Amino acid sequence: MAVALAALDATVVVCGPGGTERRVPADAFHLTPQEAPVQRHTVLRDDELITAVEVPGTAWPSAYVKVRERASYEFALVSAAALVDLAADGTLRAARVALGGVAHKPWVLDGITPLVAGLRPADTAALHAAVGPLFEEARPPAGEGFKADLARRATVRALRDAAAVREGDR
């Protein structure tokens, strides 16, 4: 759910002692080992709890892709959540994508819109070429080198699937 909430630009509302509230963007809620001063996985303090998750309304169609090693495994090797804004002619106007399984927290692909704007979602080759630069600097840990390519492919599939929601059988 964290990946989808990051893609949707959701906000996590947390409440602390005395009813003090704070709002945390979903893509900043989870922590990497470098961000956590102690062994923490989220920004929640010991005396806080989640009271709400706010998801802004959007008319953009969306899709979620979960790639697993086998159907019996619960955890994704890579997942991608995508929202797309389509122009009247069916080309991509804007997109928001978050990935899971590639870092300790959801990874939002900042800068994807200028790369895919004007492309047709059905043009898989053009989408692969367009999003490729987002994965060139990926440095997966030993034994996980395949994940960069898998993440790129999941991104393209999520973009195509999201566009298909709106396009129907176009």
Assess whether 76 and 147 both reside in one domain: yes
Quick check: 159 pLDDT over 50? yes
Are residue 10 and residue 68 in the same domain, yes or no? Answer: no
> Residue 80 pairs with which residues in a beta bridge?
65, 99
Confidence of residue 103 (pLDDT cuts 50, 70, 90): confident
Whether the Cβ atoms of residue 152 and residue 128 lie closer than 8 Å to each other:
yes
Confidence of residue 112 (pLDDT cuts 50, 70, 90): very high
| Residues 32, 98 within the same domain | no
CATH number at residue 157: 3.30.390.50
Provide the number of structural domains found in the chain.
2
* Residue range 113-127, pLDDT digits in tens: 999 999 999 999 999
Could you tell me if 43 and 72 lie in one domain? no
**102 and 145 fall within a common domain:** yes
What is this structure's pTM? 0.88
Give the separation between CA 51 and CA 5, rounded to whole angstroms. 15
Neighbours of 150 (CB within 10 A): 21
Return the number of other C-beta atoms located less than 10 Å from residue 137's C-beta: 7
Domain that holds residue 110: 62-167
Residue 122's nearest CA partner among 152, 86, 71, 149 is 86
